[in-house]
Amino acid sequence: MFPNPFDYYAPETCDDVYALLHEHGYDAKVIAGGQSLLPMMKLRLAAPEVLVDVNNVADLRTMAVSDTGLRLGALTRHAEMERAQWPDYPLLSATAGHIADPIVRNRGTMGGSLAHADPAADWGAALLALDARVTLADAARSREVRLDDFFVDTFTTVLEPTELLTAIVIPAPPRESRPFGQYLKLERKVGDFAVVGVAVTASLDDAGRVVTAGIGLASVGPRPLKAQAAEALLVGQTLSPAVIREAAEAASQAADPVSDRRGSAEYKRTMVRVFVERGLAKIQADWELVNRASA
């Protein structure tokens, strides 16, 4: 199948992108990796009149680590995260390897995935767990929005048609703690969208107490979800089986799945509980391993 005809621009600066978006508004779509937009255009589920290809914009390809956090340009490819080794952000590489297949990972971008806002996408869950923010900019202004405030509904975000998602900012884990991360995904078959995806991250101090915790859920709601009540239950606690069980139960209550061909709502909710439990148990086991090694 072929897409409808469209005009194509490939600007090299953010300012040129802003100008094009300003000019074409709702008629334009930004294309980065094109791993979601192009199939939708071929199926004629999307028919933008103008495509603004941002792959040539160098400013969107930056990565910067600082004491306060990690700033990733919107064009960061999934595969770059799969290969990246940032000890402070273990959830990123843990998640990237689960995304689709190597071809999609080589081309698809983190910014594109977030802006597309598919509730089944893996980055949404992982970056919610990491409490990330996104930078949205147009010619007049730039604003930073918490990811939890960014996602509105299925395929819907607060991004204005004139705005470009330029970067993702992930806060650094607290000092005096060690971060851990696990991404667990139930898929019907290799490379499929998640039936249920669960991102779990926690920073533990030397005593094994949770300093910060994050739990993000994919495919179990109209948008990627952050299981805040479950996160709150973990902070200040050591990851005992009872604490883990309680948090897992709370996370499963935060899920809002629907029954479909991938599974019943009840099954998906159960899977959230099992995966959060397994993710936290693995984090505890990893912490014990590290602690024993350093002792």
Partner 1 sequence: MTRVVGQPVIRSDAWRKVTGASYYTVDVTLPAMLVGKLLRSPYAHARIVHMDISRARQVPGVAAVVAGNGRASPWGGHIWDQPVLPADVVRYRGEPLVAVAAESEAAAEEALRLVEVVYEALPSVFDPEQAMEPGAPLLHPQMMEYWRNEAVCRPIPGTNAVNRTRFRVGSVTTGFSEAAAVVEATFTVPGIEHVTLEPTAAVAWWERDDRLTVWTSTQCPFVVRDQLAHVVGLPLHKVRVIVPDVGGGFGGKGNMRIEPYAALLSRECHRPVKMVHSRYEEFVGSTIGHPAKIRIKLGATRDGVLTAIQTTAFYDTGAYGDSGEMVSWQGGLGGAGPYRVPHVAIDSYAVYTNKVPAGAFRGMGWPQMLFAIESAIDMLSARLQIDPVEFRLKNLLENGDRFVTGEVLESVTLRECLLKAREAIDWDAPTPPNRGRGVALVMKSSVNNSTASAVVKIHEDTTVQLVIGAPEIGQGSHSAMAQIAAEILGVAYDAVEVTNPDTAFSPYDRGAISDRTTFHLGQAVYEAATQARQQLLAAAADWLEANPADLEICEGYVMVKGVPARTAPLAAVARRAYRVKGGPIIGEGRHLEEGIVPLDPLTGQSPKAVSHYKYGAQAVEVEVDRELGMVKVLRVVSVHDCGRAINPIQVSGQIEGAVVQGLGLALWEALQFEDGQVMNPSLMDYHVPMAPEIPEIVPILVECPHPHSPFGVKGIGEPGIIGVAPAVANAVSRAVGIRIFDLPLAPERVLRALQATQGRAR
Which residues are near partner 1 by CB under 8 A?
A: 186, 188-192, 245, 261, 263-264, 267, 270-271, 274, 278
Task: Tell me if 216 sits within 8 A of 227, measured CB to CB.
Answer: yes
Q: Is the CB of 59 or the CB of 192 nearer to partner 1?
A: 192
Q: Which residues contact 191 (CB under 8 A, 6 or more apart)?
A: 100, 101
Residue type, 194: A
Q: Is the CB of 171 or the CB of 191 nearer to partner 1?
A: 191
Q: Which two tokens stand for residue 195?
A: 């039936």
Closest distance to partner 1 from the beta carbon of 263 (Å): 5
Q: Map residue 197 onto helix, strand or coil.
A: strand
Q: Is the dihedral of CA 115, 117, 120, 124 positive or negative?
A: positive
Closest distance to partner 1 from the beta carbon of 186 (Å): 7
Q: Is the CB of 68 or the CB of 264 nearer to partner 1?
A: 264
What's phi and psi for 169, nearest 5 deg? -120, 120
Closest distance to partner 1 from the beta carbon of 242 (Å): 12
Q: Is the dihedral of CA 181, 186, 189, 191 positive or negative?
A: negative
Within 10 A of 83 (CB to CB), how many other CB atoms are there? 12
Angle at 285 between CA 283 and CA 291, to 5 degrees: 100
Q: Is the CB of 148 or the CB of 192 nearer to partner 1?
A: 192
Residue type, 100: A
* Cα radius of gyration rounded to whole Å, the chain: 19
Closest distance to partner 1 from the beta carbon of 245 (Å): 8
Closest distance to partner 1 from the beta carbon of 241 (Å): 12
Closest distance to partner 1 from the beta carbon of 290 (Å): 26
Closest distance to partner 1 from the beta carbon of 88 (Å): 31
Q: Is the CB of 190 or the CB of 293 nearer to partner 1?
A: 190
Q: Is the CB of 42 or the CB of 143 nearer to partner 1?
A: 42
- HSE toward the beta carbon, residue 237, CA cutoff 13 A: 18
Q: Is the CB of 92 or the CB of 198 nearer to partner 1?
A: 198
Residue type, 280: L
Q: Which two tokens stand for residue 26?
A: 């709702």
How many helices (H) and strands (E) the chain has is answered by 11, 14
